Amino acid sequence: MKQFIRIGVDLAKNYFQIHALANEGGPAVTRKLKRSKMHEFFTQIEPCFIGMEACGSAHYWARELKTMGHEVRLMPPAYTKPYVKRGKNDAVDAEAICEAVSRPGMRFVPIKSAEQQATLMLHKTRELLIKQLTMSVNALRGHLSEFGIVVAKGIGRVDELLELAESDTTLPEIAKTAVKILAQHLEGLEKSIDDLEKQIGRTHAQSEMSRLLDQVPGVGKIIASIIAASVPDPSVFKSGRDFAAWLGLAPRQNSSGGKQTLGGITKQGNRYIRRLLVLGATSLLNVVGKRQGALRDWIVALLAKKPARLVTVALANKLARILWAMTKTGECFRAEIFAKA
């Protein structure tokens, strides 16, 4: 069997580029493989170190190669780009991946299991349907406003809008037909979202880590489930601040010459989790007066000095750090006590 010390794999839909090194400084073996030939190629070589970009199908191939005995590392595509020498093609990308995976300071993406990816699929599908629901409601409002049919803002007013459209005698029948189709579409979307949330709830109930994270104030089954699925290995992050920075909740730095300058949050990383944490922090801020404990005291002290919206984002950052600490240690949240009325 062939022996390589390191292989860089540039993934694609049907064809994969291989850049393999038998020894440091020696000539590289390059090969273009069809998707159907991937298993055959890697079963004919000795277990070795393989690097890939964390892109579409990367987690699947990482799991497959690990079952063959190979050691696989996934890297963010942005971190492999600096190792591209010149030009842009599959062979150059595979060489850059092979070089990047050997760097001692490289950051790697934890390989997710099939179950974790299935949970993420539930969340991504829910996010997509919510976007479609918002788009459909906005379309309905926009169309009916052209006929003078307007109601107050809020998705809870959609039924009122549909009733007005149905009872309006001046609305043309053709327009009413379009309204009915949009109404049916909205009903289907709402049912699908409800079904997805029920399935997320069942997945949450089966995950010990997700149930643990659910103890944190402002964190429900949705947030707990997505974090448990997205962070299979919390030790990838050195600290809670690194985890918050991964979510884009850490301040942007522009420091030089020993002078530290901090700006707004970076808004990089996982936008879905960041948005959920900000929403959770907003709901927690609304009931902060009903709580007692260290977290409540921290929020009240910050509200005395900063605007509420800034405190919301700061609280989302703090929640992220708490969640990381719990995933790292397995410790339960030190529960706050509701104030007596």
User: Model confidence at 26, in pLDDT bands (50, 70, 90)?
Assistant: confident
CA distance 183 to 177: 10
Cβ proximity of 50 and 72 under 8 Å: yes
d(CA 140, CA 179): 7
Give the pLDDT confidence score for residue 260 in this predicted structure.
75
Asked if 207 contacts 225 with a C-beta cutoff of 8 angstroms, the reply is yes
Bridge-based pairing state of the strands 71-75 and 49-53: parallel
Residue 300, number of CB atoms within 10 A of its CB: 13
State the Cα–Cα distance between residues 11 and 187, nearest whole angstrom.
Answer: 40
User: Chain-wide mean pLDDT for the chain?
Assistant: 91
Q: Which regions of the chain does DSSP assign to beta strands (E)?
A: 6-10, 15-21, 28-34, 49-53, 71-75, 251-253, 262-265, 291-292, 337-338
The pLDDT score that the predictor gives to residue 341 is 41
Question: Could you tell me what percentage of the chain is helix, strand and coil, using 3-state DSSP and rounding each to the nearest 5?
Answer: 55, 15, 30
Please name the residues in contact with 165: beta carbons below 8 A apart, sequence gap of 6 or more.
Answer: 144, 149, 171, 175, 176, 179
Higher pLDDT, 341 or 205: 205
Percent of the chain residues topping a pLDDT of 90: 73
Average pLDDT value for residue range 193-202: 96
Residue 337 has pLDDT above 70, yes or no: no
Whether the CB-CB separation of 283 and 261 falls below 8 Å is answered with no
Q: What is the pLDDT of residues 67-106, one digit of tens each?
A: 999 999 999 999 999 999 888 899 999 999 999 999 998 9
Which has more confidence, 236 or 196?
196
In three-state secondary structure terms, 171 is: coil
93: enclosing H helix or E strand: helix 90-100
User: Is the Cβ–Cβ distance between 62 and 70 less than 8 Å?
Assistant: no
Question: Residue 35, Cα to own-chain centre: how many angstroms?
Answer: 27
Contacts of 146 (CB under 8 A, 6+ apart): none
Beta bridge partners of 72: 50
Q: Is the pLDDT of residue 55 over 50?
A: yes
pLDDT at 340: 46
For strand 291-292 and strand 337-338, is the pairing parallel, antiparallel, or unpaired? antiparallel
Question: Rounded distance, CA 325 to CA 229, Å?
Answer: 16
Is 333's pLDDT higher than 90?
Answer: no
pLDDT tens digit string along 113-170? 999 999 999 999 999 999 999 999 999 999 999 999 999 988 889 999 999 999 998 9
pLDDT band at 338 (very low <50, low <70, confident <90, very high): low
Q: What is the mean pLDDT of residues 6-24?
A: 93
